[in-house]
Amino acid sequence: MKDKSNFDEDIEDIGVSENTIGDNLTHKKFFDEAITQANIAAKKGEIPIGCVIVKDGKIVAKAYNRRERTNDATAHAEVLAIKKACKRLKNWRLTGCDIYVTLEPCMMCMGAIVNARIRKIYYCAPNNNPNLNHNVDSECIINDNYVSLLRDFFANKR
């Protein structure tokens, strides 16, 4: 059975102003929601990781791991929350947003966070498994046609 994401949740206002973002009480509120998301994941047999994305003191997206239920290797809490936030804010650039996640993000999620232009990552547990359980061999085989396409594309943008 497929688990459907609700991308149309209302933005949750927890009543804090932007100047209190660094306050420990504010961090606790956001981590509490991330942990709630992790608990949902655990109850559904997923690795218990949850996260929320915050802008201007408001939660704009929240998600939990859904890899097992969706059979999708990329269905990490962070990636799902980023997709929701982009849709809600109508912008792939999440400038001014912070992400609260229960576990330090993996390399894939860190790449998504960087690409989304998220301002800051907060996590409540370090990822003590820096070695992935699968290694992929890679090799670069230069293709001049593609290199030209890419170079020309960005030259025309500027």
| Catalytic sites, residue numbers | 78
The rounded distance, in Å, linking the Cα atoms of 72 and 66 is 8
The rounded distance, in Å, linking the Cα atoms of 109 and 77 is 9
- CB 33, CB 11: distance < 8 Å: no
Strand partners, 97: 55
The rounded distance, in Å, linking the Cα atoms of 89 and 109 is 19
Structural element, H or E, at residue 135: none
Please report where in the chains the tokens 């670069």 appear, as a residue: 140
Structural element, H or E, at residue 63: strand 58-64
Main-chain dihedrals φ then ψ at residue 3, nearest 5 degrees: -95, 120
